[in-house]
Structure 1
Amino acid sequence: MDRLSLIGVVLAIVALIGGSVLKGAGLSGLWNPAAFLIVIVGTVAAILLQTPMVTFRRALRIVRWVFQPPSQDRSAVIGKIVQWSSVARKQGLLGLEAEVQAQPDPFLRKGLQMVVDGVEPETIRQMLEIELAGQEHSDLAAAKVFEGMGIYAPTLGIIGAVLGLMAVMKNLADPSKLGQGIAAAFTATIYGIGAANLMLLPVASKLKGVINGQTQERDMIIEGLIAIAQGENPRNIEARLNGFLH
């Protein structure tokens, strides 16, 4: 569990609700069905028009990374690779065959299988880098779904405000309705700007950071597996891979 993300969400809610109460608008001032329909539903509609279905589904799957990011224990991975290099030097590459199916990470399992099969190091690098680039592209496209929503939401908030003011203009003859109507109109702006800056854009940035960390870890895995395939000294492999810890 990413505690900072959880704390951030709680503080965002406290800031919005607390600010509304302290400013005298109250909780009721934050709720407006028409504004919700225009901003939230409109934002979802816009992103659905922009995004392919496979990318949208991927975005829904990885959003949990904001609170539960994939485990990235690089020190443990380095220790595992160094251990494999020692086994390979003593027993040969076939000595690692029993380790292949024990790996939960498909990327690591595929790379280790190619090492055991005696695939040329440069071929291993090319195949793993192609897979890594494809996965990174897919995940970044999914993260940009939330970035896109963060761009659309404020604009739709302005649209909601304008529509609300248009409704107010129709009731100029009744001053008792003007204050309430104007307040309701600006609720849409709060929805748009608040959703974008307190949720959607931070979520997109968080996901990009997680994806970048995954990419660096897999770059490290590639370097380690290539070093094993080339028969390098375990101490040299460990020294090289420790550079990825910074």
Structure 2
Amino acid sequence: MDWASLIGLAIALAGLLVGQALEGGKLDSLVQPAAFAIVVVGTFGAVMLQTRPATLRRGVRMLAWIFRPPADTRAALARDIAAWNQTVRREGPLALERHMHDSKDYFTAKGLRMIVDGIQPDKMRQLLDTEITAFETSERQAVRMWESAAGYSPTIGILGAVLGLIHVMENLSDPSKLGPGIAVAFVSTIYGVGLANLLFYPIANKLKNIVTQQVHQMDIAAAVFHDISTGDLSRVMDERIATLLREHH
């Protein structure tokens, strides 16, 4: 559990609600189902319009990373690199086949298989880079849906405000209906701006950081596979390990 994210979300909401209370406003005045429907439903409708179904599903699944991010495997990869290095030194590249079968990571298993199959080093690096690019593109497209939601929600909040004011203008002769219309107008703006800056943008930025770390780790693994394939098992390999451990701490 990422408690920092949970606490951060709680602090953001508490700041909004406490500020409302300190100004003498009622907390229940922020609860407007009509404004919620306009902003939230409208925002996700716009996001669905621009996003492929598979990308949309991936983006929703990634939402779980906010509170339960993927396990940090950098230290484990550093240990694996050291083990591969020792195996190749003692038994040769073909001995990496047992590591390939033991690996649960698709990208790692693919890199080891290419070494065992004797694929030319530069060609292997090209294929691995293509794999990394495809992974990064797919993940960043999924993250982009949250950035899009952050961009759409304030504008849709303004639409909700305009709709509320239209309702007010239509009922100027009935003062009892003016309050709800004005409430929807202002609360729609709060929902739009608040969701964008307290939820959608932070979600997008955190997911981007996670994806960046995953891609960087894949880049290092690809470089290690290239090093093994070319027979460079000395200081270069040690530097790869040192980089991972330095970032881990």
Q: TM-score range by the shorter chain?
A: over 0.9
The letter for the 2-side match of 1:121 is P
Matching of residue 11 in structure 1 with residue 11 in structure 2: yes
Matching of residue 231 in structure 1 with residue 206 in structure 2: no
1:170 offset after TM fit, Å?
2.1
Q: Structure 1 236/184 Cα, relative in aligned 2: closer, same or farther at 3 Å?
A: closer
Distance 1:9 1:19 in 2: 15
8 Å CA contact 2:94, 2:116 repeated in 1: yes
Partner residue in 1 for 2:28: 28
SS at match of 2:127: helix
Partner residue in 2 for 1:88: 88
The letter for the 2-side match of 1:72 is D
Matching of residue 167 in structure 1 with residue 174 in structure 2: no
1:162 offset after TM fit, Å?
0.9
Q: Which moved more, 1:4-13 or 1:50-59?
A: 4-13
Matching of residue 158 in structure 1 with residue 158 in structure 2: yes
Where does 1:99-178 land on structure 2 (aligned, <5 Å)? 99-178=99-178
Q: Which moved more, 1:92-101 or 1:201-210?
A: 92-101
SS at match of 1:101: helix
Structure 1 residues without counterparts, runs of 5 or longer: none
Distance 1:64 1:19 in 2: 29
Partner residue in 1 for 2:194: 194
Distance 1:103 1:148 in 2: 36
Distance 2:118 2:90 in 1: 16
Distance 2:239 2:33 in 1: 60
Distance 1:37 1:179 in 2: 18
8 Å CA contact 1:86, 1:234 repeated in 2: no
* Cα shift readout 1:70-122 (whole Å, capped 9, x = no counterpart): 22332331221122111111111121211112112111111111112221111
8 Å CA contact 1:161, 1:188 repeated in 2: yes
1:169 offset after TM fit, Å?
1.5
Q: Which moved more, 1:17-26 or 1:107-116?
A: 17-26
Q: Please, what TM-score do these two structures have when normalized by structure 2?
A: 0.92
* Cα shift readout 1:144-186 (whole Å, capped 9, x = no counterpart): 0000011110001011011111111222233454344322321
Distance 2:37 2:139 in 1: 29
The letter for the 2-side match of 1:239 is E
8 Å CA contact 1:149, 1:200 repeated in 2: yes
8 Å CA contact 2:97, 2:113 repeated in 1: yes
SS at match of 1:173: coil
The letter for the 2-side match of 1:237 is M
8 Å CA contact 2:56, 2:145 repeated in 1: yes
Distance 1:141 1:55 in 2: 7
* Cα shift readout 1:226-246 (whole Å, capped 9, x = no counterpart): 111222234431124424545
8 Å CA contact 1:157, 1:192 repeated in 2: yes
8 Å CA contact 1:224, 1:241 repeated in 2: no
Q: Which moved more, 1:232-241 or 1:48-57?
A: 232-241
1:12 offset after TM fit, Å?
1.9
Distance 1:196 1:61 in 2: 19
Partner residue in 1 for 2:72: 72
Distance 2:20 2:109 in 1: 52
1:64 offset after TM fit, Å?
1.4
* Cα shift readout 1:183-208 (whole Å, capped 9, x = no counterpart): 23211111111111100111011111
SS at match of 1:119: coil
Distance 1:153 1:233 in 2: 52
The letter for the 1-side match of 2:103 is Q
Residues paired across the two proteins, number: 246
The letter for the 1-side match of 2:34 is A
